[in-house]
Amino acid sequence: MSTKITLIGAGSVVFAKNLLGDVLQFPELSDCTLCLMDIDPARLKVAEIMTTRMIAALGVKAKVVATLDQRAAIKGARYVFCTVQVGGYKPGTVIDFEIPRKYGLLQTIGDTLGVGGVFRALRTIPVMTSIARDIAEVGAPGCLLLNYTNPMAMNCTAVARATGIPHVGLCHSVQGTSQQLASYLGLPYGDITYQVAGINHMAFFLKFEYRGQDAYPLLFQLLDRPGFKLDRVRFEMMRRTGYFVTESSEHQSEYVPYFIHHGKKIIEQFQVPIDEYLRRCESIMATWQFTEAELLGHDGKIAVGPQTHEYGAFIVHSRETNTPRVIYGNVPNTGLIENLPNGVCVELPCLVDAQGIQPTHIGKLPPQLAALCQTNINVQTLTVEAALTGKREHIYHAVMLDPHTATVLTLDKIWAMCDDLIVEHQKHGLLGHFAPAISGTGRAYAGTGDRILAEVHPVAQKTSATGKLAAEIVLTNPRTKAFTANLTVDCVPLGQPTRSGHAIPLQVRIPAGKTVHKKISLTRSETSKEGFAIRLSSASPDVFTRDHIVHKRRILSAGGKDGAQFELKLAGFPAVEGSIGVQKKTIAIRLAVDDTKITPGMNPWEGSAVELFFAQGGEICQIFLVPQVGGRKVKVLSRHLKPVHAIRARIGPHPRGAGYEINAEFPFAAVCVNEAGKSFLFDVIVHLTALGDAHSGGRTSLSGQFESYMMSDLFAQVVMG
């Protein structure tokens, strides 16, 4: 029984002619059955006629079958070649270029990386995995998938993850570039040897030798040769990394952020042809009638050229005849390149014989090459994740990590561009369903990112000795549909899980995409030694609840000579040393703040500032101390941001390092404190721009609270006597 070799995407007739001609010219394969499959009946008919005439011209016994049915084409096949282009030039490729261009993102080829490569993969991977599943189910035992379809690495990674069938990705960039380099140097190709490894289109010549000698010095001489202006991008990357990359300068200019983004002058300097793939496609379509006539032959005669340098037919021949050969293939990384992740698709030398594809262990790439590869791998793996899981958020993630796109567009524009591309692809039936993501985010509705958020916000009020507390329940619904939340609100002592007996059931309907505020009044229970909590709970896993914790207030004895000392920390690091003392109807406060970059804000709480709270008898007084740039003056402002002249404040350098120290005196009358009282309530929030020499700023407070103040329990108690 003859070997069945299937070609899916046979409508790519120019490539199909070369591939099938290579197969038919091996005597051991000349009696095979060639099964041609395509979704375009007209193109498939051309391919069938062309193949029939090639068989006649070569005088071989091969048979040809044509079908529009993919599963029938694969059934019983020992080899399946894939050369599909999902979406074609129109609308697929045109969409990939036109929408990004509206956002200012220019591309040259756009088929293997970048936003064009991502969307080409998203519409191609479902087809690739369906082919792989058919191979697993109805292909001959050991059926090998030989993939020529781009984006190579993404497609092969998806096949490996989805099915794990035997497969190899094939590209002509290694053999083509090796011939180019020999030509640039005027060396006979038969005397050239090389070793290449990396990822598809970003593999590097680790060795390039002439008669066993390192020929790289000759390549570096070309950098300074007058009049040599070829392959400028690739030679520039060789200058910087030390190694020559396999794919063209057009491709390479898109894989790194050093060229297209930097404007017309750089584009012209490195001869980067923008929209080059569109031009090539249009040129091919313009000459299709001539090409078709040439493919079919005049008067039934057809010319079959010599075997090409494509690896496909040679792999089939080696496997069928046990003839050892070395080819360059794209295969899963199983420790073959040690400093690239396992499971990603890598390109490297492979031995082929009757045992199949046997990849070579390379070891470690030079670290700069591995790093460059990783920038592309990030995009590839996230695209495959999106395609296989249907999670829309990973489409955005893939594009935001693309080296070229990230140099051109802000995150908002990347999100908007992807949305436009998804809509346009789905309009033409090129993309299936993706689980929706929350608008403008990388969070999915299908996970925790769409849970209803329910929080307790205390309501501002004067301090009160009554047992009633006012609170506000704030519920946010990020979903696309309304949601009814069933909640329980209670006030319980900290450390005691039991309910108080005064719990309030609450049912709130939250419209889609809205936030609802619900005010309530509840009975306050006795506090424990630690304090109490306004506790919010829901039996539904769709609702995330957040309590409001009120810790027992601290007692500060301010009547002594040195007053009461306290310390504030930020992210676990000491940030503020403070003291508070009371003498002769005046409150003296010292704050040494480790803020190494005094920065003003439109409002005091947006830059460096100290925010002080005093309360006695129910009224709360809020004062701001705002250091000025240079650290020589400090503004004293009321809660309405008006100057307070009764309060004296001095600023100086931090006594033990960088930052500043404020000493301020507050007359009782200026902060609503009465000398008849034995104590008052106090809190301080300090806003820092930069903590020390290595940390960003933030807010720290004495009580641990940052909400608007409403209850005495949120303050420290300062004892005056």
Per-residue model confidence as pLDDT tens digits over 355-414:
999 999 999 999 999 999 999 999 999 999 999 999 999 999 999 999 999 999 999 999
| All residues at 6 or more sequence positions from 59 whose CB lies less than 8 Å from its CB, including other chains | none
When comparing pLDDT for 353 and 598, which is higher? 353
Q: What value does the mean pLDDT of the chain take?
A: 90
Helix (H, G, I), strand (E, B) or coil at 370: helix
CA distances from 429 to 91, 123, 128, 426 (A): 10, 9, 17, 5
pLDDT given for residue 462 in this prediction: 45
pLDDT at 1: 59
pLDDT recorded at residue 709? 57
Q: What residue spans define the domains of the chain?
A: 4-90+116-171+288-336, 449-551, 555-719
What is the layout of strands, in order, in the sheet containing 452-458?
515-523, 468-476, 452-458, 543-546
Task: Using the structure block, give the residue that is written with the tokens 């029939």.
Answer: 52
Question: At residue 445, does pLDDT exceed 50?
Answer: yes
**Looking at 167, 172, 640, 695, which residue is catalytic?**
172
103-136 per-position pLDDT tens digit: 999 999 999 999 999 999 999 999 999 999 999 9
List, for residues 253-307, the tens digit of each pLDDT value: 999 999 999 999 999 999 999 999 999 989 888 887 777 777 777 677 788 989 9
Pick the CATH number of 449-551 from 2.60.40.10, 1.10.357.10, 3.90.850.10, 1.25.40.10: 2.60.40.10
Q: Is 404 a catalytic residue?
A: no
Q: Write the pLDDT tens digit of every residue in 314-332.
A: 999 999 999 999 999 999 9
Q: At the top level of CATH, which class does the domain 4-90+116-171+288-336 belong to?
A: alpha beta
- CA dist 463 and 619 (Å) reads 7
Q: Which CATH class is domain 555-719?
A: mainly beta
What is residue 90's DSSP assignment? I
User: Per residue in 215-227, pLDDT tens?
Assistant: 999 999 999 998 8
In 151-258, beta strands by DSSP E: 167-169, 192-199, 202-210, 213-214
Backbone angle region of 211, left / alpha / beta, with phi > 0 → left and psi within -120 to 50 → alpha: left
> 555-719: same fold as 449-551?
yes
Query: Is residue 697 scored above 50 in pLDDT?
Result: yes
Q: What is the CA radius of gyration of the chain?
A: 36
pLDDT tens profile 554-573: 889 988 778 899 999 988 88
Predicted TM-score (pTM) of the model is: 0.83
- Between residues 677 and 196, the one the model is more confident about: 196
pLDDT at 464: 47
**25-49: per-residue pLDDT in tens?**
999 999 999 999 999 999 999 999 9
460-503: pLDDT as tens digits: 554 444 567 788 899 999 888 899 999 999 888 877 666 666 78
